[in-house]
Amino acid sequence: MTSTDQNAFDNTINDASFLQRIVELNLTDPRAQDRIIYPLSVICSIVILAR
């Protein structure tokens, strides 16, 4: 495994652990419930994956 591959793997592990911590926090969604199109967990996942 090259250094680049190892760094990519480490970043993936860090992102997964970060997402796990967000899920464990059980965050409340401050948005108006009748106007929500996408759940907060989906938004967080997209942001992390886009990174």
- The predicted-structure confidence for 10-51, as pLDDT tens digits, reads as follows 655 666 777 777 777 777 778 788 888 888 888 888 988 887
What residue spans define the domains of the chain?
3-50
Q: Could you write out the DSSP letters of every residue in the chain?
A: --HHHHHHHHHHHHHHHHHHHHHHHT----S-GGG-SS-HHHHHHHHHHH-
| Structure tokens belonging to residue 12 | 């993936």
What integer pLDDT is reported at residue 4 of this predicted model?
A: 59
Binned at pLDDT 50, 70 and 90, residue 9 comes out as low
